[in-house]
Amino acid sequence: MDKYIIEGGRRLFGSVEAQSAKNSVLPLLAASILTGERVTIRKMPRITDALCMAQILRELGADVRLEGEDVTVESADACSHRLSSALTKELRSSVFMLGSLLTRFHRAAIAYPGGCDIGLRPIDIHLNALKRLGVDISERDGYILCECDRLRGAEIPIDFPSVGATENILLAAVMAEGRTVVQGAAKEPEIIDLQNFLNAMGARVRGAGSDVIEIEGVSSLGGVDYTPVKDRIEAGTFLIACAVCGGEVEVKGVRAENIGMLLHKLRENGCKIHIKNDKIKIASGGRLRCNRRIETMPFPGFPTDLQAQITALNASCEGCALIVENLFETRYKYVPELQKMGADIEVKGRHALVRGVERLHGASVVSGDLRGGAALVLAALGAEGTSEVLDLSHIDRGYSDLEGKLKSLGADIRRVRV
């Protein structure tokens, strides 16, 4: 197990480029088995979630090669429709494989997916949508068993704009007979990226980014060479890091409209934001002001994946902030660790009241989930004294070389083996 040793109090300066989006790369990898031809995904971040998805594809019989920054998938010889519980329990995004496997083999067997322990995250929306496409679903011995003679297009209303369910529907409907219309679809930029990826393979999908997506089934898909969208959550993490520490940082590669609500909140804190094309520059000096209220919402609202980081920022701002987590019911598990650093945060259900303190102090804390772990790193960067952030396995799921990128901005952070 590794840990970070962080000496806080250093201001950050410089430029950093965002990696390809974790939440885009995973469904793109799942989509790669929809064709027997070669699929190349450029600049795949070496995060453990992506490597786990690559191993899942190998277990299905695909030839997966990591070549420099890229990954190639050739699945002509893929023959298995069953995913082992060992890998699926490590990766919640393995649920995307349902749609792809059903399209490829008309059957799928998958253990209940895992990932971070941040709430129940039921997959009923996924399963109900697949049933509308003609899939018979049963459960046995901890596995979800899906089977169909053929996939048929359908009208699919979604009660809640689930990103994963929307993407799974696209993967299952892209070669279904006839037309599928998704109503109440999620609007995240990663949905648009999946649409673009599938269309580059020869699919006929339109409407991504709106709440209605239309899919005209095609008979086959071809290979593709594709570069995913940049990671707005990683970009947001670096912007918040600068806000916490002070300084001036430029984040490259991310469109401002993809993190518009975060930029609004950072301006509210007192940061200066300058945008030019796909470059976002933030300047932070002096003690910032707390945000009065932040509520996580589906895109284009404030992203739940930045809630922990913005809470860490508010912990040392002037005033009080009310944070409302509307998507995951146990996403405040990182708060006791922030409290070890002197944060004054009171949690009641989905609400967290943050009373800003003058400054946090160093402590030994444990990362319990991906975004909560990132929040602890940011808090440590701005704290007085030395901190240890233990158990980096969660952080490695979504951030590639986080310590190296922060070092390039002037942070005093070391990764050591425990």
Residues recognised as catalytic: 116
Nearest to 209 by CA among 225, 194, 231: 194
Structure tokens at 330: 């146990």
| Cα(249)–Cα(255) distance, integer angstroms | 16
Nearest to 22 by CA among 402, 302, 411: 402
Is the CB of residue 222 less than 8 Å from the CB of residue 35?
yes
**Residues in a beta bridge with 248:** 13, 283
Number of neighbouring beta carbons within 10 Å of residue 166:
27
Determine which helix (DSSP H) or strand (DSSP E) holds 108, and give its type and residue range: strand 107-111
What is the three-state SS of 5-60?
EEECCCCEEEEEECCECHHHHHHHHHHHHHCCCCEEECCCCCCHHHHHHHHHHHHC
| Cα(112)–Cα(91) distance, integer angstroms | 10
400: left (phi over 0), alpha (psi -120 to 50) or beta: beta
Is the CB of residue 381 less than 8 Å from the CB of residue 245?
yes
Q: How far, in whole angstroms, is CA 341 from its chain's centroid?
A: 26
DSSP string for 291-330? PSEEEB-STTSB-GGGHHHHHHHHTTSBSEEEEE--S-TT
Residue 165, phi then psi, degrees to nearest 5: -65, -40
